[in-house]
Amino acid sequence: MALINYSSREINCKIIYYGCGLGGKTTNLLYIHEKIPDNIKGKMVSLATETDRTLFFDFLPLELGSVHGFKTRFHLYTVPGQVHYDASRKLILKGVDGIVFVVDSQRERFDDNIESFENMKINLKKNGYDLKDIPYVIQYNKRDLPNVMSFEELDKAINVDNVPAFESIAIKGVGVFETLKAISKLVIAKLSKK
């Protein structure tokens, strides 16, 4: 969970973008990193595997204010999309403060989305977490492609906890910052209660 740095008066929060392979997790992070001013973001780091990669960087969103006099720094991560990188997915979830579950809206990817959502819950449980205790939002990505499921169909099947859900076209930046702001606010609200 959140790490407190007393010397810099910062609370470090970990937000993870989780979802099936090629669903848009990396595209979200690349877009965010490109648009955030250089003076408040860290370097983008990429850990590559044979067929996938994990990205992460940190930033200090000044507009969100402070929590009990501490600034909040967010560390954004993606998990590898392919299920055979399950050990990496589980490891990246350690210390999670918030999750953006990225859904590929294409009808032919429906089963992959469901499998990834179930995999996320299993990996959270293996780390001693329950999804109901972690702030999360859902992003229905690739809304501009043909053969996408309706928002209502996806939301009924995936959004079992009735969390905030957003439509997006990550490659164009549509819905990307709305999703990030929503999860950031949920994480800060939870921190403020402690």
User: Domain holding 106: CATH number?
Assistant: 3.40.50.300
Average pLDDT score over the chain: 92
| Cβ(141)–Cβ(169) below 8 Å | yes
Q: Tell me phi and psi for residue 176, to 5 degrees.
A: -70, -50
Query: Has residue 105 got a pLDDT over 90?
Result: yes
pLDDT (tens digit, 9 = 90+) per residue, 167-180? 999 999 999 999 99
Q: How many domains does the chain have?
A: 1
pLDDT (tens digit, 9 = 90+) per residue, 17-45? 999 999 999 999 999 999 999 999 999 99
CA distance 72 to 67: 7
The 3-class secondary structure across the chain, one letter per residue, is: CCEEECCCCEEEEEEEEEECCCCCHHHHHHHHHHHCCHHHECCCEEEECCCCEEEEEEECCHHHCEECCEEEEEEEEECCCCHHHHHHHHHHHCCCCEEEEEEECEHHHHHHHHHHHHHHHHHHHHCCCCHHHCCEEEEEECCCCCCECCHHHHHHHHCCCCCCEEECEHHHCECHHHHHHHHHHHHHHHHHHC
Tell me the one-letter amino acid at 103.
Answer: V
Rg of the chain over CA atoms, in angstroms?
A: 16
Residue 54, pLDDT score: 79
Range of the domain at 158: 3-193
pLDDT (tens digit, 9 = 90+) per residue, 118-145? 999 999 999 999 999 999 999 999 999 9
Query: Has residue 84 got a pLDDT over 70?
Result: no
Residue in this structure with the two tokens 């606010």, named with its chain if needed: 185
| Cβ(134)–Cβ(99) below 8 Å | yes
Residue 67, pLDDT score: 84
Query: Has residue 2 got a pLDDT over 90?
Result: no
